[in-house]
Structure 1
Amino acid sequence: MTITPHPLVARAQSLADRLLAPEAARVDQEEVPAGHLEAVRRAGLLGVSAPRAYGGADAPDSVAREVAEILAGACCSTWFVQTQHHTPVKLLARSELPVRERLLRPLSDGSLLAGIAYAHVRAHPRVPVRATAGRGGWRFDGTVPWYTGWGLNDVMLLAGVDERDEVVFAFAEAREQPGVRASAPMRLAALTAARTVSLQLDGLWLPDGAVVLRTPRERFALVDIPRSANTSPAVFGVAYAAVRLLAQAREGADAADALRARLDAVRERAYALADHPVPHEHVDDRLAVKAEAYDLMRAATTAAVVAGGGRAMDLRGPAQRLAREGMFLLVQGQTEPVRRVHLDALARGDG
């Protein structure tokens, strides 16, 4: 694994070492504290990819990926809450609508924290959230099955599909209000600490000025498919954390060296594909590498559990937490093509 000589990478590593990793076991059993996200903000990490003119760092993708690896490997729950923030920032940076000037700066400098509520658009032909145009705005009705960071986020990027099969993306305040009702926080096998809820929308009204993008659903899918086919840096972050833990075990050094070498090779291939100038090309290759990365993450976290023996079953122990976090990453952002390729690889015995 290469370390990029960039100030944000150094800040991320410092934050991981002094706060996130030491607190990870407690956070896993409780919830992500607001103070963790404030520390991420103070380090400038919420604006890692944001435009410099709006208070961000405008760092290369390689830096953003390495920051994500470090945060995920230290405390996956904290990583998962803050990672929601970066998609709204990127979308605003590309937008020419009025909401850009209202929200891009406070999101870029971390004054506001954003979450996302649009994964349900991938459920086509089902339409879990319907957007209906009205005079001066839009009405949203339906169910957002998963929303992470409830009670921590200030705003959410919400999407619904209108009668013309167009996806409408708009910003709303991330709080209960007329038209928005949140479930109790979900109890999950991993990352319960990330405060995930479902949202019931019943006539949520957002003005036209809250809209950041309107795009045909088919065009959204064209952009979304290659994006979901790329390997998440968090997969490598959790896998490398497991390898480091394995290396500390009395009998784990040789296995750790072998797994680290394989991870380095797959990581290099995955990021080369992510950097390809045409995002929708080489989708099959991206999916194949993603399945291979999943396999290595699973092997690394399993090895850490094996090396830890009975201690690994203690809920305060890092090995079982990393294994559960790895299980979560197998399904996080999963689409039908990702699921199909991964299951095929598992059936063949090479994934």
Structure 2
Amino acid sequence: MNSQPTLLAVAESYLQDVVAPNAAILDQDPDALKTALKGLGSRHLLGLKLPEPWGTVDPQTAWEIQEAIARYSGALGFLQTQHQSAGSAISRSHNQALKAEYLPHLATGKRLLGIGVSHLRRQGNPLVKALPIPGGFLLSGTVPWVTGFGIFHEVVLGAELPDHRAVYGIIPLVNCQKSGGQITWNAPMSLAAMQSTQTVSGILEQWFLPEEKLLFMQPAGWIHESDRKTVLNNTCLLLGCARAGLDIIAAIAQKKPLPGIAAAFNALDRQVIICRQNIQQLLFHQSREELDTWYSQALLLRVQAIDLAYKTAQGAITVSSGASNLGESQAGRVYREALVFGVSGQTSAVMEATLAQLMRSP
């Protein structure tokens, strides 16, 4: 009988013993956050979206591990998912040499990458353009969001071709000049939440992306179709955040034995459990052959997860009373994390469905 702990158990142990006691520091200190990320890597927890032989767990366990990370530190949860998404993109590439270079080192964090593709969802004039030239592409434009500056050294970036197809490749996440091209990353943004994740914008000026660093090209509008298929992917972060809010309510219920607090915990806990079960059923056990039908169900569950992250965070604020206004308040931190997770990877459809949820009469 195998007595080795499962990877989920390894993750839970590290998160409870090392990450949770330092969650407030990880929210503010980039160096501490980088150290925590390396701790995930030393436990082979940074290859959750990679196929065998580089990946280490099945998709449902990977989802549950990311849920646990977000529960104990939203900043770490958000940062690691950037690397996990970059790794997933690399694993889907047909560039065998590039895969051989990166994939063996992603799970352990020996190679760390961010991802910058959200601008491809925007309508109108593309923010980052790719011009085909012999041997590769020239990239120019403004990258509005990349997380992990000073933590990651490279980023998987998307850019739009003149025919509206998209190019995905790897570029440096450091300021640099080469062969007449230049990448300039601005100072980290001042954010309302997760300041430690070092989110920046950048400017590309005639930066040469060689074919050796090309992952793949996708047809026009591909990202929108991909968003439909992956609409439930970040629910692990949302429900991890919801569980963090519930942890605070449960802890305060021990100090303030008021029936209203216990009732609120029980009601919200039940809602989170049911939502989680429904998401896992749809995500891991239901066919997507009828994508429109699957997506309509998935979109509702995504909105439910957003709503629960907000409600449990508000519950944590409420039971924490005036102490929630303190800078070191755990409730305040989780409330800010809900803000981030609620709009991460947001599409127009997710925004509209979220607004519809908010407008429903109680």
Q: Same fold (TM over 0.5)?
A: yes
Aligned position for 2:36? 36
Specify which of 241, 264, 267 is matched with residue 258 of structure 1. Answer: 267
> Where do residues 285-300 of structure 1 align in structure 2 (5 Å cutoff)?
285-300=297-312
Are 1:121 and 1:159, in contact at CA under 8 Å, matched by a contact in 2? yes
The alignment yields a C-alpha RMSD, in angstroms, of 1.7
Aligned position for 2:76? 78
Decide whether aligned partners of structure 1 residues 155 and 132 sit closer, same or farther in structure 2, where only a CA change above 3 A counts: same
- Amino acid corresponding to residue 38 of structure 2 in structure 1: E
Q: Does 1:177 align with 2:176?
A: yes
Are 1:231 and 1:293, in contact at CA under 8 Å, matched by a contact in 2? no
State the Cα deviation string for residues 259-299 of structure 1 (Å, max 9, x = none).
11111001111222222332734212111111122222211
For 1:47, what is the secondary structure of its paired residue?
Answer: coil
Specify which of 270, 273, 276 is matched with residue 267 of structure 1. Answer: 276
Aligned position for 1:51? 51
For 2:27, what is the secondary structure of its paired residue?
Answer: helix
> Where do residues 124-163 of structure 1 align in structure 2 (5 Å cutoff)?
124-163=123-162
Decide whether aligned partners of structure 1 residues 128 and 346 sit closer, same or farther in structure 2, where only a CA change above 3 A counts: same
| CA distance in structure 2 between the aligned counterparts of 1:44 and 1:231, rounded to whole angstroms | 21
- Amino acid corresponding to residue 314 of structure 1 in structure 2: L
User: What is the percent sequence identity of the aligned residues?
Assistant: 27
| CA distance in structure 2 between the aligned counterparts of 1:10 and 1:126, rounded to whole angstroms | 47
**Could you tell me how far 1:6 is from its partner in structure 2?**
6.6
For 1:80, what is the secondary structure of its paired residue?
Answer: helix
Are 2:67 and 2:240, in contact at CA under 8 Å, matched by a contact in 1? yes
**Could you tell me how far 1:258 is from its partner in structure 2?**
1.4
- Amino acid corresponding to residue 10 of structure 2 in structure 1: R
Are 2:250 and 2:265, in contact at CA under 8 Å, matched by a contact in 1? yes
Are 1:230 and 1:286, in contact at CA under 8 Å, matched by a contact in 2? no
Are 2:309 and 2:342, in contact at CA under 8 Å, matched by a contact in 1? no
| CA distance in structure 2 between the aligned counterparts of 1:96 and 1:6, rounded to whole angstroms | 34
**Could you tell me how far 1:102 is from its partner in structure 2?**
1.9
Q: Does 1:277 align with 2:276?
A: no
**Could you tell me how far 1:153 is from its partner in structure 2?**
0.5
Are 1:121 and 1:161, in contact at CA under 8 Å, matched by a contact in 2? yes
Are 2:98 and 2:212, in contact at CA under 8 Å, matched by a contact in 1? yes
- Amino acid corresponding to residue 146 of structure 1 in structure 2: W
**Could you tell me how far 1:225 is from its partner in structure 2?**
2.5
| CA distance in structure 2 between the aligned counterparts of 1:217 and 1:6, rounded to whole angstroms | 45
Decide whether aligned partners of structure 1 residues 26 and 230 sit closer, same or farther in structure 2, where only a CA change above 3 A counts: closer
State the Cα deviation string for residues 23-49 of structure 1 (Å, max 9, x = none).
111222333522111101011100223
Aligned position for 1:238? 241
| CA distance in structure 2 between the aligned counterparts of 1:37 and 1:231, rounded to whole angstroms | 19
Are 2:42 and 2:108, in contact at CA under 8 Å, matched by a contact in 1? no
- Amino acid corresponding to residue 312 of structure 1 in structure 2: S
| Unaligned runs of at least 5 residues, structure 1 | none
Aligned position for 1:196? 199
Decide whether aligned partners of structure 1 residues 186 and 225 sit closer, same or farther in structure 2, where only a CA change above 3 A counts: same
| CA distance in structure 1 between the aligned counterparts of 2:5 and 2:122, rounded to whole angstroms | 39
For 1:85, what is the secondary structure of its paired residue?
Answer: helix
Q: How many residues align?
A: 344
Decide whether aligned partners of structure 1 residues 285 and 161 sit closer, same or farther in structure 2, where only a CA change above 3 A counts: same
Aligned position for 1:69? 67
For 1:158, what is the secondary structure of its paired residue?
Answer: strand
Are 2:168 and 2:217, in contact at CA under 8 Å, matched by a contact in 1? yes
Q: Does 1:304 align with 2:316?
A: yes
Which is further off, 100-109 or 16-25? 100-109
> Where do residues 102-113 of structure 1 align in structure 2 (5 Å cutoff)?
102-113=101-112
Aligned position for 2:227? 224
| CA distance in structure 1 between the aligned counterparts of 2:132 and 2:35, rounded to whole angstroms | 39
Ranges of 4+ aligned residues in structure 1 off by more than 6 Å: none
Aligned position for 2:85? 87
Structure 1-normalised TM-score? 0.93
> Where do residues 17-28 of structure 1 align in structure 2 (5 Å cutoff)?
17-28=16-27
Which is further off, 224-233 or 101-110? 224-233
**Could you tell me how far 1:109 is from its partner in structure 2?**
3.5
| CA distance in structure 2 between the aligned counterparts of 1:218 and 1:310, rounded to whole angstroms | 48
Decide whether aligned partners of structure 1 residues 95 and 24 sit closer, same or farther in structure 2, where only a CA change above 3 A counts: same
| CA distance in structure 2 between the aligned counterparts of 1:220 and 1:336, rounded to whole angstroms | 13
| Unaligned runs of at least 5 residues, structure 2 | none
- Amino acid corresponding to residue 250 of structure 2 in structure 1: A
